[in-house]
Structure 1
């Protein structure tokens, strides 16, 4: 009866809201297409309001909080949405933007009758929460009303009911916002101070990527006079992942934030479009069967060239190069006309000392050309002036050529030639790394691990971009070297980072980090903050508990993920006998899950070669499957065939993991991380199949499945 009354109350409020939004849209007026600059600015503001109200019309709000401020007896029903709106008649808030200070109570209040406090710009504001209500409005229709708290009521933790309702929805080919279900631990991260490096260890499915995107939206709202979206960057692991997350910020009303990969960012910085053209599929060998075992990751090229030890080598090289850059001889423009080396050095090392080397070179060249021009102007005879002009210009070109062009790639080659010459003389870079890199560079091969050093050299010699960055998001940061963060720090006025990842998913350990301390050491204690998100919202309890049995093999010492109480089917681990037809089995898995309403289905193979052959076989059988491959720029949903190392960051309703045998998935940490990644992609159903001997990584999961089956029977 109470819920019926609540539903009727919210229906009436929704109708009133639709009318208010429609009236405000009608009152905006027509577009302006003239040339008046002021009118153009006003029109842009009106268009922004029109778009905001149009989005509100489809889904105006998702929550209600009845709040009574202390020392008052008036209860304010606060409706909270993705965007705010004022009442057209009174100017009072009609819908509260989720990023507003008072809206934080909707996320942090978990029950009880004690007074609550939120931080407003004018200081702390206290009061009492009388009602917390979750609302689901889709396409102007009220779908669900859940009271998660009623003062004086039973309050049986119905917040979980609404969360489970959201989590149980089928997924499409895009990541969605979580603004209606942000949890208290996530809200603390989202609203953390701007000038802080947040380092977030998040279990698979903990929502860390979505939290980082919501944090961007919050920073733009809270610090709108200090940050701009065009001065923010999201770095993702690959372009397909960028496509997958592309809809979240626009849905939150945020535009103009650059979303890119570090490789593309460096390519733009160096203005070398074909920089990685001869990369020959960097890192692919690490994902082949039998290659991710007992590797000396500390000595791998990626670990070495992304380390702070290598940064020291770069800085030493830069200092020596700058010290030796200027020729020590006088410049003789023509016979008898000399510009002393001391004057050149004074211009270069004193007057222009505050500039990076490349701008100093340009200024020195311009200064010397001006000197030449003045000396030539003092020659009265046109014929002599012409001859000496020709001579001096030739000598000037030769002088400038001796200075060098300061190209990062050429300097990088020179660095490794220097390291090769110094090997055995206190150089603590492994010989194999130096020699392999020299061979690569002679063939113009630049690998992912070379990008941060190249960027460091370029910035040191050319200076940082004129437009500094306000905030950087680094996703899948366990695969990022420390030097990459140092590169980005020098491109900012003040360090403001959201760094997130999961060490258990560190499948690029040959160029990433082993422990988060490698990053915390890069920031002063008062400007960094470490957080752990252990709650996993993506998968069912059964899937998370199975994945937790793999976690100890990853050698990360991470605690197990904590599943939300969303029970589903047991994980299936099945042996395929020699007589069974593999393709028929896969087709049946796909058909059953499609029939059960699973919108996104992944068939995960061990390698890229396996995936390509499997996808072609399914296509030949009439299955509309899509192959996800290296370098792919989009994810279309539906049925996907994908190598396990490319699944990271994605999620699917149902997952079939193939070839989980003792040969392809050993007990080594890297194999464990790959299987952990593959297993945690599933939202609702997970099945693993093998032939011959099962992987030792599944032993704990098999026992868990058997115990679960015994309990159910």
Structure 2
């Protein structure tokens, strides 16, 4: 493989770099022409009515946005020289430029091929062992949107040494300024296999820090929208993240790939049926999040069903038609025993009773039709009979009763929850009304479950669930309801589970999601985290996730890790007697480390225990160091982000200053969860990590 070619100074047509620049210019001109063609479309006489005109105009506007030429986003990043034309064994080879979108010239001939097209796949998967009919793979390097270098790999040349791609390494290590960017130019073979997995199957990715699992999930959405656009346009796609800061951080990835219509949400937003104003203690949240609560709710929903004791008498003209109680009971019992939604059974019950009446009418010599049956189903006597045996259920009111009525809960939870667990579930002080109820996030999930028991939740075509290891079984069920007839991409890392109910195994999680037996794909090669840093953080794995293999970094970066113990200038004989001196020394060391990191290019993350964040914010303000909140975009004026440890998951920074690891561990309800939180925080950097501590490091890290 050649080393990257520096910018050319000659303009001769024989210079490869100049030819590539000329193709880039021509491709940009072709893209502008494609956009102009769409902008000039006249639909005044095309649409049949104003509704169609509005829809068509919106589609045209979306197409214009998708054809935008982003100046600092390379139009193509690679080239494939095929030995033969794809699909034609004897034909002369062809050359394809691989980019983020398709671009064609005035004759319709492709100038840039979409990275998702089948002909582009060898760019990511071809190798000397399996060249896939590719003679040469060329990568391009850009600076500020300008093509400045290229690098060739001759896949059929057995004598050429495989020294790795310098351009690939440079792209991975490029400073992180602004929101998360796509990895379309650097997708690796094992990542590409997940990205292009079939839409009919759910894929679960167990990804160590820095393996690109989030980017893989987003690129999978982009690929599926390319390969199954009509289907997913009809059924919809959704990306679910752990919090709004995380979603804001990743929100530009899909638009950069030309996909503008993918919805994003948190689990909290999915189940936004009641106003969450309270918070449960951990032990209460664990019980409410347990899958057994689904069966408790099922019993609660059906608790109001009563077997009829009186006949139903329908008057039609001068005749009376009587359905005896035992016949009504047979109808009710049959519906109750079927595995259908409560609301669907409620809608069917009047028709079943009406059908019984029609049978009697036919036996009596009449010839009723479907209109008569519908009229009977609306009869006051039938409505009264239905109301008596199958009452309407309001999901929020049902859960309200379950959490405030000890007798009702005991009836529904018998044999499922212990008396102690039932006591945990009940509100300590029963509220007077729905509005005054101290609804928690776990309660909102219960309401969502109850709603689905009454009426089926709309299913999407594909759902991406990121940071999935932190979901409770009931939250998995809530997500699973959104893709019952579709597929899912589940992304997470067991070692980064930091909730009391976090996932123990992916097999359990997939079962709760409603996708048992789905394939689980491990990603253990980290491209983001330097080797020194991931090796240091992996010392925690035996205690937090003993079944996981440590990640292996592809990046050696000497000096990427700095561990500094901070001591006061004049230490006390007993440090416990003067914690203020140690704290002041740590504060000063944090400011020094932040200033030192800011000398480097790129983003800086100052990560600390949540309880320390207000103090550090005041210190940064006093020192005149501007800083951002997680999810806010970095700029030339503010490249430092102050990150509470609880919000660090999923984020990445070029340099990280980690404040007092012991404080991060102490901020969690138990040591294991605290060590998992620390593992998350340690694995956020791309280029360098500085660990500052005045207290002893956890034993696993102290060696």
- TM-score bracket relative to the smaller structure: 0.7 to 0.9
Assess if the C-alpha contact under 8 Å between 1:303 and 1:511 holds in 2: yes
Check 1:341–1:696 CA distance in 2 against 1; reply closer, same or farther (3 A cut). Answer: farther
Determine the structure 1 residue equivalent to 2:430.
442
Alignment correspondent of 2:289: 306
* Residues in 2 aligned to 1:349 and 1:182: alpha-carbon distance in whole angstroms: 57
Aligned pairs for 1:67-216 (under 5 A) are 67-69=82-84, 71-89=89-107, 91-112=108-129, 116=132, 128-137=133-142, 141-149=146-154, 151-152=156-157, 155-157=160-162, 159-216=164-221
Q: Which moved more, 1:32-41 or 1:566-575?
A: 32-41
Deviations 1:142-168 (A, max 9, x none): 133121335427544355312210121
Distance 1:681 1:471, change over 3 A: same
Contact between 1:60 and 1:81, CA under 8 Å: does it hold in 2?
A: yes
For the 8 Å contact 2:98–2:120, the answer to whether it is kept is yes
CA distance in 2, matches of 1:311, 1:351: 20
Helix, strand or coil at the partner of 1:18: helix
Structure 1 residue 697 corresponds to structure 2 residue 697: no
In 1, the alpha carbon distance for the partners of 2:30 and 2:695 equals 66
1:663 and 1:695 in contact (8 A); partners too = no
- 1:408 is the counterpart of 2:401: no
Structure 1 residue 564 corresponds to structure 2 residue 551: no
Residues 284-299 of structure 1: pairs in structure 2 closer than 5 A: none
Deviations 1:441-467 (A, max 9, x none): 8342333333433222111112333xx
Per-residue CA deviation, residues 164-200 of structure 1 (Å, 9 max, x unaligned), is 1012111123111100100000000011111111111
Deviates more, 1:645-654 or 1:405-414: 405-414
Partners of 2:530 and 2:464 lie apart in 1 by 28
Q: In the TM superposition, what is the alpha-carbon distance from 1:538 to its structure 2 partner? A: 1.5
Confirm or deny that 1:501 pairs with 2:496: no
Deviations 1:399-430, CA, capped at 9 Å, x for gaps: 9599654122332244453575359x962424
CA–CA separation in structure 1 for the residues paired with 2:395 and 2:647: 31
Native 8 Å contact 1:615 1:626 kept in 2: no
Shift in CA distance, 578/139, structure 1 to aligned 2, threshold 3 Å: closer
* TM-aligned CA distance change 1:461 to 1:589, over 3 Å: same
Q: Do the aligned partners of 2:665 and 2:677 also contact (CA within 8 Å) in 1?
A: no
The equivalent residue for 1:640 is: 641
Q: Distance in 2 between matches of 1:30 and 1:625?
A: 45
1:463 counterpart = 2:456: yes
- Contact (CA 8 Å) 1:175, 1:245: kept in 2 or not? yes
In the TM superposition, what is the alpha-carbon distance from 1:486 to its structure 2 partner?
Answer: 3.3
Mapping 1:520-535, distance limit 5 Å: 520-521=510-511, 528-535=518-525
Aligned pairs (5 A) from 1:45-64: 47-55=61-69, 59-64=74-79
Per the TM alignment, residue 71 of structure 1 is displaced from its structure 2 partner at its CA by: 2.5
Partner of 2:615: 613
Q: Which residue of 2 aligns with 1:321?
A: 303
Aligned-partner SS, 1:75: coil
Any conservation in 2 of the 1:59–1:139 contact (CA below 8 Å)?
no
- The alpha-carbon distance between structure 1 residues 516 and 526, as it changes in their structure 2 partners (threshold 3 A), is closer
Flag the 1:398–1:428 CA change in 2: closer, same or farther, 3 A: closer
Say how many residue pairs are matched.
Answer: 633
Task: Say which of 334, 341, 355 aligns to 1:356.
Answer: 341
**Match of residue 671 from structure 2:** 668
> What CA distance in whole angstroms lies between the structure 2 residues aligned with 1:543 and 1:140?
31
Contact map agreement 2:30 2:103 (CA 8 A) in 1: no
Map 1:326-337 → 2, pairs under 5 A: 328-329=309-310
Distance 1:66 1:526, change over 3 A: farther
8 Å CA contact 1:612, 1:627 repeated in 2: no
- TM-score, with normalisation over the residues of structure 2? 0.80
The 8 Å contact of residues 305 and 450 in structure 1, kept in 2 or not, is answered as yes
Between the aligned partners of 1:355 and 1:429, the Cα distance in structure 2 is 25
Q: RMSD across aligned C-alpha pairs, in angstroms?
A: 3.9
Give the Cα separation in 1 of the matches to 2:401 and 2:33: 68
- SS of residue in 2 equivalent to 1:54: coil
Unaligned 5+ residue runs, structure 1?
117-127, 287-299, 370-391, 701-713
Q: How far, CA to CA, are the matches of 2:586 and 2:480 in structure 1?
A: 50
SS at structure 2 position matched to 1:195: coil
**Offset, 1:227:** 2.0
What do residues 558-604 of structure 1 show as CA deviations (whole Å, max 9, x unaligned)? 11111012414241222221336333322222222212223x22222
1:546 is aligned to 536
Cα 1:51–1:677, aligned 2, differ >3 Å: closer, same or farther?
A: same
Deviations 1:50-100 (A, max 9, x none): 4344337753211101112362251211111111123322x3332111111
Q: Distance in 1 between matches of 2:228 and 2:211?
A: 26
Structure 1 pair 49–309 and aligned structure 2 pair: CA distance change class (3 A): closer
